[in-house]
A and B are shown apart, each in its own frame.
Chain A
């Protein structure tokens, strides 16, 4: 009969955290920034099919880095949670705070349960409010904690460096084009100080736009509209003037 090695609880948790952090750090980053009309999500993601940024509910969106199957699972759980809550009570009763709490409980339980492998994911749940001061952004690390963020936030590999870059440059009242440019600049920086050039094809961009007339404020910024916004010097003025571009997928319903 073999006797198991004794591992101290501190060591066990540190090992699990290390495991999750390494998994997360392997992936590309996602940045989320507040701008004057809402919240913009920018992810480096060459895939058009596997999304890192998604709609959860009318005013709530979700962004994640790490292991795809794990955060996809959590995303669908979140959509089900939000839709069930909205169906049982009212659409207004679905809040990012409630959703973030449920995610934190879920991640926390999995992280501390010895029977399960910790999820290698880091999530962002954001809700756009009536004005910039009502916006809410929550960051949810792998261990089940919640961090209330303001202005800008980055998750994924190289997140620390990107965060500090964003913190220094982000200011309130940026336009969408300015915020997008800052996000792309921050994502373009290598961890050893070099620069890569990121084009529209490498990016997944979505916004929660409080000025949208529809109930559902989430919108992907795609194709021509994204290229126009990213054009240097243009400031994306014409692209912003027409938020309802024909590239938009059929993802709205009015009520």
Chain B
């Protein structure tokens, strides 16, 4: 029977086995070698040199959540890429921004997008935001072996919770540990500086545009103090990617919109290089 199913070109049994709505489960069953976590790394001395993506920030606002990332990828002290994209839509109501080894992260995002889409098509309904966050957690846990060899991926996941009607942010650690963040979050090498900035700039009742300005300020501060984070490149017209998730779904700010915000911030910083000042008390 087995030989028969191979020679005729019919769908192999794994394709027609009912039960799982998960593409990753199916992949693990049918072609486990395609799962990113299933490829053993050859033993290497020291860390593997590969481009790393850097800073991702997210801020909630009254009607949703904004997720943004700078455009730099570094490899050691070299800028590997100036215009890398590190923020992706995961589905209609969620997005993921990635910090860490770029190649692995991009593959992980591709599989994550497919996992959500596959579930949606098979079940005819979408996963809850928590469910999506948990799937991503599993994927990061699967990458732990590589993370221990220096190829870590640490994303930030943001989405509009259709049931609770609010924007939510989830952050992760390399073991897949997931925690929900209140208000704002940052990940990547510049995250300490970005988080410090957001702490002072975050307002619960801000508008989408104010939230977008806040993340741009935070990325500006991160680029100011972290050499691996890229600031807005006015000469080359390379600006951070800003996305928002609201009840209308995913939206990516157009280049013109971001350029306008980035130039306004830049103008102000020519007078106050350290950015807006918070009240002392």
Contact = CB atoms under 8 A, between A and B. Distances in A.
B114 A55 contact: no
A106 B110 contact: no
Nearest to A77: B15
Interface in B92-110: 92-93, 110
B144 interface: no
Q: What secondary structure prevails in chain A residues at the interface with B? A: helix
Interface string A84-119: 101110000000000001110110111001010000
A255 B95 CA distance: 11
Interface stretch (A32-40, A184-192, A232-240, A245-253): A245-253
A83 B118 contact: yes
A150 interface: no
Interface stretch (B4-12, B189-197, B257-265, B266-274): B4-12
A254 B252 CA distance: 10
A81 interface: yes
Contacts of B8: 105, 108-109
Given A76-B18, A250-B249, A81 B11 contact: yes
A76 B122 contact: yes
Give the residue among B8, B11, B111, B120 with the most A Cβ atoms within 10 A: B11
A77 B20 CA distance: 11
Contacts of A87: 23, 27, 34, 110-111, 114
A17 interface: no
Contact of B92 (A80, A83, A115, A252): A252
Contacts of B126: 250-251
A51 interface: yes
Contacts of A56: 121
Contacts of B249: 250, 252
Interface in B189-234: none
A110 to B, nearest CB: 7
A110 B117 CA distance: 29
A11 interface: no
Contacts of B48: none
B66 interface: no
Contact of B10 (A106, A254, A255): A106
Contacts of B124: 49, 51, 54
Contacts of A251: 92, 120, 126
Counting chain A residues whose Cβ lies within 8 A of the other chain, the interface size class is 20 to 34
B67 to A, nearest CB: 14
Given A83-B114, A252-B249, A253-B113, A102 B89 contact: no
B31 interface: yes
B91 interface: yes
Contacts of B113: 253, 255
B181 to A, nearest CB: 23
A74 interface: yes
B26 interface: yes
A8 interface: no
Given A55-B121, A250-B249, A77 B92 contact: no
Contact of A88 (B10, B34, B121, B252): B34
Interface string B1-45: 100110011110011101000010011001100100000000000
Given A250-B92, A251-B120, A106 B31 contact: no
B162 interface: yes
Interface in B157-213: 162
Given A73-B18, A83-B121, 11 more contacts: A79-B121, A84-B23, A84-B26, A84-B31, A87-B23, A87-B114, A108-B10, A109-B8, A251-B126, A253-B113, A253-B250
23 contacts: A51-B124, A54-B121, A76-B15, A76-B122, A77-B15, A80-B26, A83-B118, A84-B27, A84-B30, A86-B114, A87-B23, A87-B27, A87-B110, A88-B34, A105-B9, A105-B11, A109-B4, A109-B8, A115-B1, A250-B91, A251-B120, A253-B91, A255-B88
